[in-house]
Structure 1
Amino acid sequence: MSQALTLARPYARAAFALARDAGAYAHWSNALAFAARVAADPQVAGLLGSPRLTHADAVDLLAIDGATQTMRDFVALLADNRRLSLLTEIAGLFEELRAEAERVVKARVTSASVLGNGELEGIRAALVKRFGRDVEIESAVDASLIGGAVIDAGDVVIDGSLKGKLGRLQAALAN
């Protein structure tokens, strides 16, 4: 996995530079996400490695409708360099670069039960205050947490779950 990320990083940076210069972060995000989803399909993945697939066919298969010529050229470059299998990693790295440039923190809030909009907004406001950036929240439910929530915002993980508290209490008592 780390080798794939290492190989994908320069392509993600190049795509990001092209998107920045064109002022088209959202369009590039959509195009890369589409290409990554298509390339990740098991049937397509086998096809992408075939020497019978021309670069033009690969571009037609992976380019989103309405893709600019620059985007099509980018996919063609990936095909030329036999890097189409890295599209998932490239798309992920691109999103990280975009979030950093747009000063957005993406947070995942996993709770024991479904949180209401008011609760999510309160968490978002607290995270905005903590990070000094806009925060996009994705929520999930994991009943095994028993109560509370776990917030994963990049390098920061805040475990306010009952399961986490019990685990810390057990570790403290064991020492």
Structure 2
Amino acid sequence: MKNRYTFLQRLTHWLIALMVFGLLLGGLAFWALGYEGLSKMLGEDTAGMLFMYHKSFGILVLALTFLRLWLRRLTPAPAYDPPLGLLERMVGGSIHLLLYLFLIAVPVVGLVATAASGHPIQFFDAQLPSIIDENKELGATLFAYHGLGGLIVAGLLLIHIAAGLKHWKLKDGIMTRISLP
């Protein structure tokens, strides 16, 4: 079908979607309970593992977002069939652009916040080198921005999902562009 993204584009879309969903849930737990609260609730080892996975999957989302942008440059988005109106194209394009920007900015700010706070930057079992000197005040500020960015991503995703559901209900073929099967 010529009005579909390539398989690799569709796969990266859904992998990013699944990971971002998990990252947002984890981020909400970190915000609501903090490390101490999670440690009391789940034990220190489990809380540490959750933070390690949050960092690791955040790095994966960053890498996959760059891959998705590179793939998009190689193979532009397929044409809408039937065509969308100007307003729908503008709103949809803006939401996609903002999602890409925040899927890059939020992990980068999280990495810098982690390093500034004196915490290790972990990618699963590997510890990556620090990218900034320790500055706990800067780290706290950046973590606040990281959390705010996560909330913005959640809002953008709600709009994106609502639009997808609208097109799915209309059965206008838009959802077939990004569906996996």
TM-score normalised by the chain length of structure 2: 0.28
Higher-Rg structure is 1
Q: Which has the higher contact order (CA 8 A, sep 6+)?
A: 2
